[in-house]
Structure 1
Amino acid sequence: MKLHHIGIEVNQLERSMLFYKGLLGLHFKNRIDFFNEDIIFLEGEGVQIELIKKTAPPSSAHLAFSTDSIHKTVHSLKNKGIFPADGPYTLDNGWKTVFYEGPDGETIEFIEE
C-alpha cells in the first residue's frame, strides 16, 4: 500500500494552487466537484495534494491510500470488524473511494484509480 494524496482544506483554491505549485513544483492534475465541494488535485514527483474549498476556517487534513481494489479493501477491513464511515463511491472521473474514521476522528480514505 502507498500513500495516494494529502487533502488540505483551503479558503481560496486558486491562491493555494499557486502556492503549492511554487512550493513543491506541483502541476494541475484535475478539478472535480464532490458533494458540492470544489476540489483541485495537484501532482508532482511521488506526491499528490487535494485542495478542498471551504468557506469556514479550514479544520483538518486527511490521509488517502491507493488500493488496487476498493471492493477487496472494504471486504478485508470488514472481516477485521472495521466498517466504512462513508461510501464507497464512484467519482465522476471514474475513481472509486471509501472513507473510514480513525480513533481520534481523523479521516482515512482508500482510493482506486
Structure 2
Amino acid sequence: MLLGFEHIGMTSGDMDRTIAFYCGLLGLHLVLRKPNEGGELAFLDAGGGMLEVVAPKGGAGRFRDVPMSEAGMRHLTLAYDNVDEMIEMLAQAGVEIAEAPRDAYNPEMIRRVAFVRDPDGVLVELIERAPQRVA
C-alpha cells in the first residue's frame, strides 16, 4: 500500500548554494547533510516530500531542460500561499525569474503559477493551489 511521496533526487554543482536557495529562500528544511563516497548528500524537506541532493566532489554542469520530445523530469513544483509575494522576494534576492506570475492554465488544480531557476538552472514552479482543491 502506498504511504505517500518520499523524495526526488537531484544533482547540485554546489551544496552550500543549493541549501541556501531551497532552505534560505524557498522555505524547505535541511533534514540531513553528510559526506558520501563521491562528495556530499543532503535531504531537504518540502513538507509533502523531500529533495535528495547529491553534490559530486568535482562539481556538476548546469541543468539541461528536457525537450518535449524526450521523457524526463521537466520541473519541480512547490506550493505557496502567495506566489506574487514569493516572486517579488526572489527577484529582490537576484533569483532568475523564468516566467512571471500569471493565472494558471489548469484552474481546477492551480490558481496562480510562476517559474524560477535554481542556482544550477533547474526549473522550479511556484504555485498557489486552487481554493476548491483538497491538499
TM bin, normalised by shorter chain, reads 0.3 to 0.5
Q: Which has the higher contact order (CA 8 A, sep 6+)?
A: 1
TM-score normalised to structure 1 length: 0.46
* Larger radius of gyration between Structure 1 and Structure 2: 2
